[in-house]
Amino acid sequence: MSFSADQTKEIGDIVAKGVAGIEQQLTDLLAKLAVSTPGASQGSSAAPSSSSVPPPPGSATQITSPPPPAAAQSGVVNLWATPDAIADAFANQAGAPAAAVQHSPAFFPGASPSGAAATSNPLAGKNVILRFPHVEQSVLLSVLAHTIEFKQLVKLNPRFTQQTAPDQTLQLSNGQLSVVDKAVTKSFPDMNALLGSLLVYFDVLSFSLSASHGKQAGGWEHGWTLSHGASLFVQHLLQLQQSYTFVSVLQYAERFFQFRRAEMLHSHYAGWWAPDNSLMFYLHPLPPVTAVKASGSSPASQSGPNKLSGSKPRNETICTNFVKGTCTGDTCPWGRKHALPAPVVQPAKA
C-alpha cells in the first residue's frame, strides 16, 4: 500500500499532535507531583521542567508492609495455607495476648461462654493417666506398646463391665465354618459398644503420637494420620453393618485391628485409611428380607372367592362370578377375565 505526498503529510501532522498532547500531559503530571512533595520549596513559582522526576519518599514516609496472613487477621485459617504456614502465622503474632480457651460450664465448672470466667484447657500439659482416669494403667501401657488384644479394648469404654472367660465355638454360616469367640461378642454386644471402645483407643494413640512428634517439623502430621484413619475406619464399620451380620463384622474388625497393630509397631499408621480386601471373606451377608404385600382397599386388590390359582396373574384368571352370572358388565371390578371356561373333554370309554 502506497500513500501520496499529501496523505503522508496529513498522517505526520496527526502523529505529531498526538505526541505533543502526551508530552503536555506528562508535564502537568510531573508538576503536580513536585508540588505535593514535602521537600519542594515554598517560594518557588517556576514550573518544573518536563525532565524533572518526583523525588524519592522522605524518611518520614512509612512503607506499608503486606497484610498478615488470614490466620493473623481474623483467626480464620487460610484454606490454601500449609500446616507449617498456619503454625508460623500464629507464632508470629508478636504482642498479641493468647486467647483463653472457653468451655461450657457443664463440662468445666467455672468456665463461662461469655468470657467472664474463661479458663484454659485444664488437661493441658497433663500426662496420659490424668487425661484418661477411667482406664487402668496396665491397659494404657498395653495400648501405647501396641500389645492390647481386641477383646480387651472394651476396658477403654466407660461402660466397661467385668470380662467373662474365653468361650470359643464353631459357627457355620453360608457354607463357611469359622471360630467365634463368645468373649468378643459378649464384650461388644452391639456396634455402639465397639465404636465407643475404638474411639477411646484412637484418642490415647493420638495423644501419644502428638506428644512424641510435637516438637518436630511437621510432626503433627503423625497424629492427624491416625485420627483421620480412625474416622475412616469407623465409617467403614458402619457401612459394613448395613450389609453383613454383626458377628461377622466383629470378626473382620478383630483381624483388621491385629494387622494394623502390627504395622503400628513399625511406625506405619496409614493402614486404617482403606478397607482390607484380603479380610472380606470373614463377612457374611445378612439374610434376605422377605417383602410383605400390603392389602389394598380397592376391589382389584382384594382377595376373595374369585381367586382361582395363585400361580397366574389376576388378569389371566376367569371371574367365577361372571360364570355364575352375578358379575355383569364388560369389565370385571376385580380385574379378572369375563369369559367362559373351556369345556372339559371327557376321555372316551373303551
Q: What is the pLDDT along the chain (350 residues), one digit of tens a residue?
A: 666 777 777 777 887 777 777 888 878 877 777 666 554 444 444 444 444 555 554 444 444 445 554 444 444 456 677 777 767 776 776 455 555 555 455 555 554 455 444 456 787 788 889 989 999 999 999 999 999 999 999 999 887 644 444 555 555 555 555 555 555 667 888 999 999 999 999 999 998 888 888 777 777 788 899 999 999 999 999 999 999 999 999 999 999 999 999 999 999 999 999 999 999 999 999 988 765 555 444 444 444 444 444 467 877 788 887 777 777 777 787 778 777 776 655 666 65
- Structure pTM? 0.52
At 332, the amino acid letter reads: C
Of the candidates 223, 276, 227, the one whose C-alpha atom is nearest the C-alpha of residue 254 is: 276
Q: Where are the domains of the chain?
A: 128-282, 311-339
* Long-range contacts of residues 185-191, Cβ cutoff 8 Å, at least 24 apart: 185/247, 185/250, 187/151, 187/153, 187/154, 187/163, 188/151, 188/154, 188/250, 190/246, 191/237, 191/238, 191/241, 191/246, 191/249
**Rounded distance, CA 229 to CA 264, Å?**
12
- Per the CB < 8 A criterion, the answer to whether 121 and 100 are in contact is no
- Exposed/middle/buried for 98, CB within 10 Å: 0-12, 13-18, 19+? exposed
pLDDT computed for residue 145 by the predictor: 93
pLDDT of residue 199: 95
Q: Would you give the distance in Å from CA 348 to the centre of its chain?
A: 80
